[in-house]
Structures are given as structure tokens and as C-alpha cells.
Amino acid sequence: MVARVQLPQAAKRGEVIEIRIAIQHPMETGFRFDLMGKAVPKNVINSLRVRYNGAEVFRAELGSGIAANPYLQFYTVAEASGEFVFEWVDDAGERGSETAAVAVT
Amino acid sequence: MSFFRLPRWGGFWLVALPFAAVCHGAEPQKLAPLKSGIEFASADVRRLQADDFENPGMLWVARGAKLWGASAENDGKSCAACHGAAAKSMKGVATRYPRVDPEAGRLVNLEGRINLCREKNQQAAPLAHESGELLALTAYVAHQSRGMPAQAALDAQSMKDFERGRALYHARIGQMNLACAHCHDRNWGRKLAAETISQGHGNAYPAYRLEWQSVGSLARRIRACYFGLRAEMPPFGAQDLLDLELYLAWRGSGLPVETPGVRR
């Protein structure tokens, strides 16, 4: 699974920063049929968790209503220099993760 | 007086029209002004393409960047081992395709060139048409030429393919009995149901199409037009598709490469 994350490399303490993540995933709804008429099993990224220096700052539960290649964006307050860890898992059990660092002054 | 003029003008047109048809057939015409498909897109699609992070096609570019540095299965050589940084070595490359490969002696598009390189230099199996890997690598290589004007290199070798492509472009096909030219040359800018007909240029491909929820090649897009005309779709890799790609590249030359573009 390919994913891209984007957040400012440097921020001032107390500043609200924007965090964006895009994940390449088909987000199969389970309602589609292949060319042979067989149902394609549902496979969506069902949860995404973001931790900032160990503390959870964002969590999302995704379903079949989310389009392929989901893109999420949220805001948090820059408190200390450290690392954002993004983790997600899909219905097939495949896990993905990505990290990004921010320097807070 | 006007009663007498009408038949005279009618006679003029009867004589003039066949000449116009002959002139049109002799010299291929480029459209003026040239308009990229993005100019016909709605504001939200334009915004999606313009934002390098939100543009979902960039996920394929990111995957292509990883594949560029990854070793092929057999001899372990990566693309980067020979070509170095793609930002330098692949800049402007996509603007010149499709072209006749001097060694293979046949018309290849960018996908075909990547597969030739895999077979010849990496001793690896060619990647399947429309596979995630091939689309990612093609998107990554073409992305290095973004903003540069496409310039189809027509030469003595590619002239035959070009003429075939031009003939295909103007040939009526399918149950709809329409040629590409009927929509994309004569009626661009007008509506086909809810869609605005574009000029049909390939400068954004491989592009992310919202309908596909994925990046796809220009060949896939052309096949979709065949499907819309209820014509038999040529298989991926067919010479017809390559010839059409070459003709499209020529008639769109001058437009900037947009890869990865976003389309409806």
C-alpha cells in the first residue's frame, strides 16, 4: 500500500497545523461483481489511527461509502517536536503505516 | 432580384464543396486554439488536479518513484542503476512518445518503451498492460516532463503509422457509426448529455479518472471511446491503439504534459 502524508516540517509551539494523508486503496464496497458474475468481497480500510508522540490525536472509522484512494485531512496543535505515526488496517487484514516528523520551536 | 440570386449561390456551393473536401483530406489540420482536456473540466476536477497532494494520481507517481529505485527480479538492476535520478534523465522524455524505437524498429509508446528496457536491460518479464506497476512507472516517468510541451516526432519511420492513425481517427466505427473526428474535431466544446466534449488530447495520460477510481493509460481511455461508440474494442497493445496514440500526440503537440492529470 502506497501512502503519502503531508505536514509542516517546522511549526511554532501552540500553532494549529494541517495534516493530510492519502492512501492508495481500491476500497471495494462488496456490491460489485466481476466479469464472471462473482461478487467481489468487501475490502475497505476500516480504521485509521494517528498518534503524535504516542498520544492519539485522530482516529477514523471508514466504510464502503468512502471512495477509492481515501484522502483525509485534519488539524492539531503543535506541542512538541516529535513524530506522527499513521496506522491503518483494511478488511483483508493488511496493515499500513507511515511516519512524519515535525520540529516545534 | 433576390429570387435570381439564390440559385446562383446554390450552384457555387455545389462546385465549391467537393473542392473543400479534397483540400481537407490532403493536409491534416490541427485544431485552433488547442485546448487541454482540463479546460473542459469542472472547477472541482481542476482543483483536484492542481493540488499535488490531493491529486490521487500522485499516489501512482509515488509508487513509481519507489519502483524506479527497486531492483528487477532477475539481475537485480534497478532503473536508477542505469538512468540515475529520473528528475534529470527522464525530463522531457515523455514529450517525444509514441515514436519508432530505432532498435525494435516499431512504434512504441512510453509503456512499451519501459517494457523494452525491462526485457533488454533488466532481463525481466514485461509488465502487463494496465498493471499497477506499469502505470506507476509510466506515470512517474511522464511526470518528469510535466509542463513541457508535447512534440510528436514524425519522421520517415513513423509516417506510415501516423497515416494509419489519421485514417482510423476519421473512420466511422461501431453501431453509432461515428468517427473520433465527429466529436473531437467538429463538436468540441458542445454537450454530449451532461458532458462537455473535449478536443480529445492525450497530454494528461496516464491520468486518474474518477470513473475508474484509478490511474489508467491513454490506450484504456481510447478503448472507452470505442466502447461508447459500441464498436469492437482493440485489445491492449494493438497496433490500432498505438497508431491512434501517435496521431493524437501529433494533433495535440504543443500542449503541456499534465501527468498525472485528473479527469471525470
As a residue count, chain B comes to 264
3-state secondary structure of B228: helix
The pLDDT score that the predictor gives to residue B32 is 85
Q: Do A2 and B214 touch (CB under 8 A)?
A: no
Mean pLDDT for each consecutive 10-residue tract of chain B (264 residues)?
44 43 56 92 95 96 94 81 94 94 93 94 92 96 96 89 96 96 94 92 96 96 96 96 96 94 95
Measured between CA atoms, the residue of chain B closest to residue A69 is B56
As a residue count, chain A comes to 105
| Residue contacts between A and B (CB atoms, under 8 Å) | 36
What's the pTM?
A: 0.89
Cell of A24: 492508495
- Spatial separation of the C-alpha atoms in residues B98 and A3, rounded to whole Å: 31
Q: Percentage of chain A with pLDDT > 90?
A: 98
| Beta-bridge mates of residue B208 | B215, B262
B211 touches chain A (CB under 8 A): no
Q: Which of B62, B66, B214 sits opposite A68 (nearest CB)?
A: B214
Judge if the upstream peptide bond of residue B98 is cis by omega within 30 degrees of 0: yes
Domain span at residue A78 reads 3-104
Please, what's the b/e burial string for A70-84 (b: 16 or more CB within 10 A of its CB; e: otherwise)? bbbeeebebbeebeb
Q: Is B59 exposed, middle or buried (0-12, 13-18, 19+ CB in 10 A)?
A: buried
**Is position B23 annotated as part of the catalytic site?**
no
The pLDDT score that the predictor gives to residue B40 is 94
Angle at which helices B239-251 and B159-169 pack, to 10 degrees? 90
Sequence ranges of chain B with CATH classification 1.10.760.10: 33-46+149-263, 57-143
- Please give the tally of structural domains in chain A: 1
The pLDDT score that the predictor gives to residue B30 is 85
Q: Do A69 and B58 touch (CB under 8 A)?
A: no
A67 touches chain B (CB under 8 A): yes
A99 touches chain B (CB under 8 A): no
The catalytically annotated residue of B79, B180, B183, B225 is B225
Residues of chain B with Cβ-Cβ distance to A23 below 8 Å are: 59
Q: Do B59 and A6 touch (CB under 8 A)?
A: no
Average pLDDT over residues A56-79: 95
- Note whether A86 and A62 are within 8 A (CB): no
**CATH architecture for segment(s) B57-143:** Orthogonal Bundle (1.10)
The pLDDT score that the predictor gives to residue B27 is 59
- Note whether B215 and B57 are within 8 A (CB): yes
The pLDDT score that the predictor gives to residue B58 is 96
The pLDDT score that the predictor gives to residue A39 is 95
Q: Is B148 exposed, middle or buried (0-12, 13-18, 19+ CB in 10 A)?
A: middle
Query: CATH: 3.65.10.10, 3.90.230.10, 1.25.40.340, 1.10.760.10. Which one for B33-46+149-263?
Result: 1.10.760.10
Q: What is the ipTM metric for this complex? A: 0.92
- Note whether A103 and A81 are within 8 A (CB): yes
Q: Cα distance from B59 to chain A (closest Cα, Å)? A: 6
Which CATH number does the domain housing residue A32 bear?
Answer: 2.60.40.10
pLDDT at A8 over 90: yes
- Note whether B260 and B57 are within 8 A (CB): yes
H/E run at residue A83: strand A82-90
pLDDT at A31 over 90: yes
B62 touches chain A (CB under 8 A): yes
H/E run at residue A84: strand A82-90
- Note whether B151 and B96 are within 8 A (CB): yes
The pLDDT score that the predictor gives to residue B13 is 44
B58 touches chain A (CB under 8 A): yes
Q: Do A71 and B60 touch (CB under 8 A)?
A: no
Q: Do B58 and A4 touch (CB under 8 A)?
A: yes
The pLDDT score that the predictor gives to residue B77 is 87
Question: What's the gap between Cα A1 and its chain centre?
Answer: 11
Q: Rounded to 5 degrees, what are φ and ψ at B63?
A: -65, -40
- Spatial separation of the C-alpha atoms in residues A38 and A41, rounded to whole Å: 9
B60 touches chain A (CB under 8 A): yes
Residues of chain B with Cβ-Cβ distance to A2 below 8 Å are: 59-60, 62-63, 66
Distances in Å between the Cα of A63 and the Cα atoms of A5, A27, A41, A86 are: 21, 8, 14, 18
The pLDDT score that the predictor gives to residue A1 is 81
**Is the Cα torsion angle B128, B130, B132, B135 positive or negative in sign?**
positive
Measured between CA atoms, the residue of chain B closest to residue A20 is B53
DSSP string for B74-130 = TT--BHHHHH--HHHHTTTTGGG-SEEETTTTEEE-HHHHHHHHHHHHS--PPPPTT
- Note whether A54 and A41 are within 8 A (CB): no
- Note whether B143 and B87 are within 8 A (CB): no
A104 touches chain B (CB under 8 A): no
Q: How far apart are the first and last CA of chain B?
A: 55
Measured between CA atoms, the residue of chain A closest to residue B63 is A2
The pLDDT score that the predictor gives to residue B21 is 43
Q: Cα distance from A7 to chain B (closest Cα, Å)? A: 11
